């Protein structure tokens, strides 16, 4: 690991050392209603005695400009200068939003990520992407900004309910499908039956960091990390508009991986046998996302806002065999709708 990323028992002591530096003028801790209650007590011994907590509501619904204003108002009211540090304690929603707020406040203050969900530990907190949702579209506003440090302590996973842990596992599976066929073979055997997640987190983070290092601003190979996300984001965004039908990000990505694996078969990139392996494994872990066939066109339309698009072309990341992702694969809204209809029939 490099000097900005720590995983394991030494992560929080390293954070404490960073926050003790004389160059740090103030420390702010961004939490949500859940992490403030469940995770802050574990972090507290590693924080300076004087720090300010900023708490937001929990959930994707809070990933908005209004929440950013709450953070910026608190920083401004406390006279935070450019030597302040924002500690983002939470899952992907909070680490995305906190990084975005820090990147824009006074043209940028330092922030660190302390991810508390499996999804954030293996994916959202690593790679320098920040952002918020806007007008119902996922991560519509954002900037690339690397944190001053990422501190991953697997003990936080004990605070999660099984559904949240499972949601994060979707990103672990995604990493293996795009770049490590052997890892996917192991996952098919072990699934989530792990007592210690440390080695799984390390392997998944290493894979993502290798891809990001080749393409920090997502002009090429980094798009591989979006496998499952063209359909997944569309499905997640659509269901966010349907009160009571909201799903977690990883649940949407798991459904998206099935759809996009099916599209890979239709385009001659993936074998039917490989699709069967992917489907069988994903459905052994994840419940099927519920929607009706009449909604498929409306869901697919959300893909027009996908950030990988180029003009009128919807670009998708597909699989050229298990363990080998291929990016910038053009698809139509009709093909996406067809993939959703395929998923619905399973």
Q: Buried b / exposed e across 13-46, counting CB within 10 Å, b at 16+?
A: ebbeebbeeeeeebbbbbbbebbbeebbebbeeb
The C-alpha atoms of residue 152 and residue 122 are separated, in whole angstroms, by 9
Its pTM stands at: 0.90
Which token pair is 42? 């574990």
Comparing 35 with 309, which gets the higher pLDDT? 35
Lowest mean per-residue pLDDT among 35-44, 97-106, 201-210: 201-210
Whether 319 and 335 have beta carbons less than 8 Å apart is answered as no
- Indicate if 131 and 182 belong to the same structural domain: no
Q: How many domains are contained in the chain?
A: 2
State the CB neighbour count (10 A cutoff) for residue 225: 25
- Asked whether 204 and 122 are in contact (CB, 8 A), the reply is yes
Query: Is there a single domain that holds both residue 234 and residue 328?
Result: yes
Lookup: tokens for 99: 């990084």
Q: Around Cβ 49, how many Cβ atoms within 10 Å?
A: 6
Same domain flag for 110 and 218: no
Is the predicted pLDDT of residue 25 greater than 70, yes or no?
Answer: yes
Q: Which of 144, 159, 174 is the last residue of a domain?
A: 159
pLDDT digits (tens, 9 = 90+) for 285-303: 999 999 999 999 999 999 9
**In the structure, what pLDDT confidence band is assigned to residue 194 with cuts at 50, 70 and 90?**
confident
> Residue 13 has what pLDDT?
98
- Give the percent of the chain with pLDDT over 70: 99
Tell me, yes or no, whether 197 and 297 share the same domain. yes
Of 83, 84, 63, nearest to 140 by C-alpha is 63
Mean model confidence pLDDT for the chain: 95
pLDDT band at 102 (very low <50, low <70, confident <90, very high): very high
Say if residue 184 is in the same domain as residue 231.
yes
More confident of the two residues 80 and 195: 80
pLDDT at 311 (0 to 100): 76
pLDDT value at position 34?
96
Q: Which of 220, 216, 245, 250 is nearest to 233 (CA)?
A: 250
Q: Are residues 132 and 188 in the same domain?
A: no
pLDDT tens digits along 213-250: 999 988 899 999 999 999 999 999 999 999 999 999 99
Report pLDDT digits (tens) over 27-39: 999 999 999 999 9
Give mean pLDDT, residues 114-124: 94
Check pLDDT > 80 for residue 23: yes
Query: Which range among 63-77, 162-176, 309-323 shows the weakest confidence by mean pLDDT?
Result: 309-323
Domain with 316, as residue range(s), is 162-345
What is residue 73's predicted lDDT score, i.e. its pLDDT? 98
Please tell me whether residues 99 and 143 are part of one structural domain.
Answer: yes
- Give phi and psi for 167, each to the nearest 5: -60, -45
Domain check: are 232 and 279 in the same one?
Answer: yes
Task: Check whether residue 25 and residue 68 sit in a common domain.
Answer: yes
**Active site (catalytic) residues:** 107, 129, 171, 208, 218, 222, 226, 229, 233, 249
Q: Are residues 184 and 274 in the same domain?
A: yes
pLDDT at position 1 over 60: no
Pairwise CA distance, residues 250 & 18, whole Å: 32
Q: Is the dihedral of CA 206, 207, 208, 212 positive or negative?
A: positive
Cα three-residue angle 138-157-185, rounded to 5 degrees: 80
Q: In the listed set 159, 187, 220, which residue is the last one of a domain according to the structure?
A: 159
- CATH assignment at residue 299: 1.20.1090.10
Q: Which residues contact 64 (CB under 8 A, 6 or more apart)?
A: 132, 133, 134
Do 145 and 206 have their domain in common? no
CATH code of the domain covering residue 80: 3.40.50.1970
Domain finish residue from 111, 134, 159: 159
State the CB neighbour count (10 A cutoff) for residue 101.
26
Same domain, 125 and 270: no
**Does 17 have pLDDT greater than 90?**
yes
| Rounded Cα–Cα distance for residues 277 and 283 (Å) | 10
- Kindly give the interhelix angle for 198-214 and 162-179, rounded to the nearest 10 degrees: 50
- pLDDT for 124 equals 84
Q: Is the pLDDT of residue 310 over 80?
A: no
Note the pLDDT of residue 316: 96
């Amino acid at each position: 690991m490099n000097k900005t990323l720590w995983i394991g028992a030494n992560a929080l002591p390293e954070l404490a050392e960073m926050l003790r530096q004389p160059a740090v003028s103030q420390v702010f801790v961004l939490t949500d209603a859940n992490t403030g209650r469940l995770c802050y007590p574990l972090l507290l011994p590693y924080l300076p005695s004087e720090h300010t907590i900023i708490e937001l509501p929990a959930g994707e619904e809070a990933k908005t400009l209004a929440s950013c204003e709450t953070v910026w108002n608190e920083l401004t009211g406390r006279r935070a200068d450019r030597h302040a540090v924002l500690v983002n304690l939470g899952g992907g929603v909070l680490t995305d939003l906190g990084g975005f707020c820090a990147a824009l406040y006074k043209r940028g203050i330092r922030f660190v990520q302390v991810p508390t969900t499996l999804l954030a530990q293996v994916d959202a907190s690593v790679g320098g992407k920040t952002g918020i949702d806007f007008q119902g579209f996922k991560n519509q506003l954002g900037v690339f900004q690397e944190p001053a440090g990422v501190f991953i302590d697997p003990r936080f996973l004990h605070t999660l309910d099984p559904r949240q842990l499972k949601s994060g596992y979707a990103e672990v599976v995604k990493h293996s499908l795009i770049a490590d066929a052997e890892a996917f073979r192991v996952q098919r055997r072990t699934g989530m039956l792990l007592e210690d997640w440390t080695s799984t987190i390390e392997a998944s983070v290493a894979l993502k960091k290798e891809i990001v290092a080749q393409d920090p601003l997502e002009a090429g190979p980094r798009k591989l990390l979006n496998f499952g996300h063209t359909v997944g984001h569309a499905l997640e965004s659509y269901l966010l508009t349907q009160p009571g039908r909201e799903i977690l990000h990883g649940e949407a990505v798991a459904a998206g991986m099935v759809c996009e694996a099916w599209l890979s078969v239709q385009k001659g990139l993936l074998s039917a046998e490989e699709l069967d392996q992917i489907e069988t494994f994903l459905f052994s872990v994840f419940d099927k996302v519920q929607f009706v066939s009449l909604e498929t066109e409306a869901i697919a339309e959300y893909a027009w806002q996908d950030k990988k698009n180029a003009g009128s072309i919807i670009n998708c990341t597909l699989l050229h065999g298990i363990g080998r992702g291929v990016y910038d694969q053009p698809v139509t809204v009709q093909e996406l709708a067809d993939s959703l209809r395929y998923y619905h029939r399973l």
